Amino acid sequence: MKGIAHFVSGVAIATFFPEVVQQAAEGSLLPVLGGIAGILPDTLDFKFARYFEVYDEEIDPGPDPDAREIAEKVVGAMRRAYETGRPQNVVLHTIRLGTDLWRQYTIRFDPARNEVAVRIGPVVNTGQVPFPGSEPEGAEEVRVRVGVPMVHTYDAENRVDIFSGPSFKFVRKGDKLHVHFLDWHRRWSHSLTLAAVLGLGAIGIGALVEWLARGFLTRTPLWAGLVVGLGFTGHILEDQLGFMGSNLFYPFTRERAIGLQLLRSGDAIPNFLTVWLSVALVLFNLDRFSASPRLDGPVFLLLAVLLPLVLLGGLYQLQRWGKSEAKEALQQRDIVSETEEVEVR
Amino acid sequence: MSAVEAGIGLLCAVGGVLVASVLSPVPALHIYNVAGFILLGAATVGLPFPPQYLAMFFLGLVTGYAVLNTISSIFLSVPDDSTVFVVLPGQKYLMQRRGYEAVVLTGVGSLGGIVVLTLLAPVAPRLFPALRAILQRHLHWILWTIIAYMLLSEWPKGTDRAPAGWRRWWDGWRSLTAGLVTFLLSGALGFVLMYRSVLPVTSAYQNLLPAFVGLFAVPWVLQNLLAQVELPPQFIPRALDATPGLILRGTFAGALGGLFAAFLPVVTGGIGGFIAGHATAQRDDRLFIVSQGASKVVYYIGGFLLFFVPGLHMTRGGMAWMLSTLWTAHTPQTYYLAVAGVVLAGVLSFFLLLRLTRLTVWLVARVHYRWISIGTLAVLLMVVAAVPALGEGLGGGSVASILRSGLEGLLICVVATGIGLIPVLWGSRRMNCMGVLLLPIALNMVGAGATVAGWMGLVE
């Protein structure tokens, strides 16, 4: 799911505890901790883990990119992974032409035709605005045959233009080659074990700070730990509703546990619905734990929670009805869509 | 209230729109500054008509501004804090010869926002007092939640070319660090402006204008000048490339963001737009632009309309604060007249938007964009100097203090421009410049503002 959905869910979870709400009304910032913990798993991946990933091959097209050369290098890594049985981790670099100029290119895997396709695109600025007429002369999609059996993976175009490029891990499983998009995502950072550790850590740090600052201990550090642990857990469980799932009990488990396949993490409706329901529940909780509640609880829950859930949830299921896509492709799409955050600048 | 009075009130709203249509395209000139001068003049020489007509005139003014300020944001790249996110997709559209279309998409979003406000009108007197009662004691942490999300949701922008490990990490984190620095520096500037503004007391109420112009508008214009942006000829289509579903989704998301911004103190239209953009969660420029149009209209007009809601009397946004010194709305008739005024002013503004955009397209086809950018920069600096100077003049200052106010306005703008250029140079979010408002007020709300101001040497 998108960052905002995880963040608001973390806040909503925090407000289910009357002590947290009452302390918040008196000036505490405990619910903010829930939001931070809610977005933390992706923060750990996208702001830390990715930088420590070691690649077997870094493909740098240079200022005069050759589509065939790029495609052949990718296919070379795919064949190596298949033939040697050793996974190949590959990153494609962007092409920077100036302070505010980049050359765009696209790459896509076409499992149906067993090919990799690359196309060199226009020059764009950092706002991804293409300069008209800047496409290279005679630029067409170049296709190179993979030549080894691959699973039906995510086949949409991956656009490589500004800052950093995409990474892929090619892994042979049985007699098929799998393409893992952004393999560093949802591994150790998305584990319930880590949620427990962080919750306990928050209790410890909170207690230490309180002891040093006030010389005595209250139950506030316990609430802080609970809010952090549950906010983090909420993120992992929400991701588990999708296709890819997470490595739930790292370091005790090695593989990602497959998701419940109820939704696609990049889809608008589930994300919006999560934000809506979270905000509604925050309001409901703030009201019912206040000195003089104003809302008619059952009516509010019916109108603001149940009705949107049924209507939007139903609409979403209708939209998905009859659309079939290979499970492997949906799993990889789950990962890719999380990188497509709306970057409002 | 008689029918004649209601008619005069609606005419005042139309008058407000017509004045806004002349003033809104002027880069940097915020309608709140104009309203400030009108109120200062009213306080000095008295009002020749009942204050409720001034309220309706202001309603037309704010509606016209909220709809029409898109033109300067897209064609001149001079946003205010509520339109800062329209500039980037707007420029993309401009380069694709679709500047007119971008403006119309924003206008459609604005109309959608007005429809949402109208539909909300009957339930607002019940809904908003209840919401205020529930949220009143929680505003401090909600504001910190917004700040936390704003800072945490920014993505690193390294090229991943450094060797794996801390060197690559730092390559990515440079932009995030620049974002944090921008937030803290703009917050520090906010503290200076709030606790010890360099402007004299008589014009200090105008001190946010030079800061906002420096943070948001000047860096864009400088960037356009340095990058030697050249606009291709613009195309005026006969139909809009947007489905009803897309417009509905954009309007809905934008209206939610705008309502959020209108209802919560300090949260401006820019932050509402930011939330709208994220809540939409789709990488479709059309949907995003529609949502921004809805968000800014709901923020500006909705915030002002809250002042008219019977039994609420909520002052959100500069216009309501200023007007509350002269007049307060009491009756449901005044409220529904205000809603009717918004609908009338909104529809009129939309058609004026189409006309004025055609005029702008005609202008950019004849004058080189470099000259337009230079002219825009000159107007920005003139406004930044003139507004505090005029404030000082109306406040009875001497010639020397008027001149000094103008120079001090420029000084604030220069400092703010330095901060506003950090995101441009390091590729971080311009949104972080909102620290100028968010940081001092959020710290004040948790009782730490005075302490921090003391650390900065701003209070004894």
Write the DSSP assignment of B312-360 as a string of letters: T----SHHHHHHTTT----SHHHHHHHHHHHHHHHHHHHHHHHHHHHHH
CA distance A255 to chain B (A): 23
Least confident of A46-55, A211-220, B354-363, B390-399: B390-399
Average pLDDT in the A327-336 region?
A: 72
Which residue in this structure is represented by tokens 């007509």?
A: B53
Positive or negative torsion for Cα B450, B456, B459, B460: positive
Q: Is the pLDDT of residue B399 over 80?
A: yes
Q: How far apart are CA B34 and CA A88, in angstroms?
A: 63
What the block records as the tokens of B441 is 């007020």
Q: Which residue of chain B is at minimal alpha-carbon distance from A161?
A: B159
Query: Is B140:B446 a contact under the CB 8 Å cutoff?
Result: yes
Query: Does the pLDDT of residue B304 top 60, yes or no?
Result: yes
DSSP B47: -
With beta carbons under 8 A apart, name residues in chain B contacting A286.
134-135, 138
Is the pLDDT at B10 greater than 90? The verdict is yes
Residues in B touching A268 (Cβ below 8 Å)? 249, 280-282
In sequence order, which residues have a C-beta less than 8 Å from that of residue B398 and are 6 or more positions away? Answer: none
- Give me the count of residues in chain A: 345
| pLDDT higher than threshold 80 for residue A344 | no
Chain A positions touching B152 (Cβ under 8 A) are: 3, 7, 36, 39, 43
User: Does A162 or A155 have the greater pLDDT score?
Assistant: A162
- Stretch B241-266: mean pLDDT: 90
Q: Which residues contact B104 (CB under 8 A, 6 or more apart)?
A: B240, B353, B354, B357
pLDDT class of B41 with cuts at 50, 70, 90: confident
pLDDT at B253: 87
Quickly tell me which residue has 């509905």 as its tokens: B248
Parallel, antiparallel, or unpaired for β A57-59 and A88-92?
parallel
d(C-alpha A112, C-alpha A110), whole Å? 6
Residues composing chain B: 460
Task: Indicate the pLDDT class of residue B200, thresholds 50, 70 and 90.
Answer: confident
Helix (DSSP H) and strand (DSSP E) numbers for chain B: 21, 0
Rounded CA-CA distance A90/B395 in Å is 67
Q: How far is A256 from chain B (nearest CA, A)?
A: 24
Reported ipTM: the value is 0.90
Chain B residues whose beta carbon lies within 8 Å of the beta carbon of residue A125: 227
Residue B149's pLDDT is 95
Do the Cβ atoms of B292 and B279 come closer than 8 Å? no
| pLDDT tens digits along B61-120 | 999 999 999 999 999 888 887 888 888 888 888 888 999 999 999 999 999 999 999 999
Set of chain A residues whose Cβ sits within 8 Å of the Cβ of B429: 344-345
- Please state the rounded mean pLDDT for residues B395-408: 90
Helix residue spans in chain A (DSSP H): 3-14, 18-25, 30-47, 67-84, 192-214, 220-240, 268-288, 297-300, 307-320, 327-339
The alpha carbon of residue A269 is apart from the nearest alpha carbon of chain B, in Å, by 9
Find how far residue A144's CA is from the centre of its chain. 30
When pLDDT is averaged across residues B249-276 and rounded to a whole number, the result is 87
Structure confidence at residue B282 (pLDDT):
60
The Cα–Cα gap between B64 and B297 comes to 10
Rounded Cα gap, residues B342 and B115, in angstroms: 10
Min Cα separation B397/chain A (Å) = 40
Q: Of chain A residues 201-230, which have a CB less than 8 A from chain B? A: none
Return d(Cα A71, Cα A108) in angstroms, integer.
9
The CA radius of gyration of chain B, in Å to the nearest whole number, is 21
Of the candidates B91, B232, B446, the beta carbon closest to that of A27 is on B446
Computed over every residue of chain A, the mean pLDDT equals 91
pLDDT greater than 60 at residue A345: no
Using alpha carbons, list the distances in angstroms from residue B275 to A279, B259, B260, B325. Answer: 13, 11, 9, 32
Place of tokens 């895997």: A109
Least confident span in A38-52, A187-201, A276-290, A320-334? A320-334
Model confidence pLDDT, tens digit, residues A176-219: 999 988 888 888 999 999 999 999 999 999 999 999 999 999 99
* CB count in 10 Å sphere of residue A152: 14
pLDDT above 70: residue B450: yes
A4, A46, A96 member nearest B155 (Cβ): A46
Contact (CB<8Å) A341/B164: no
- pLDDT given for residue B74 in this prediction: 93
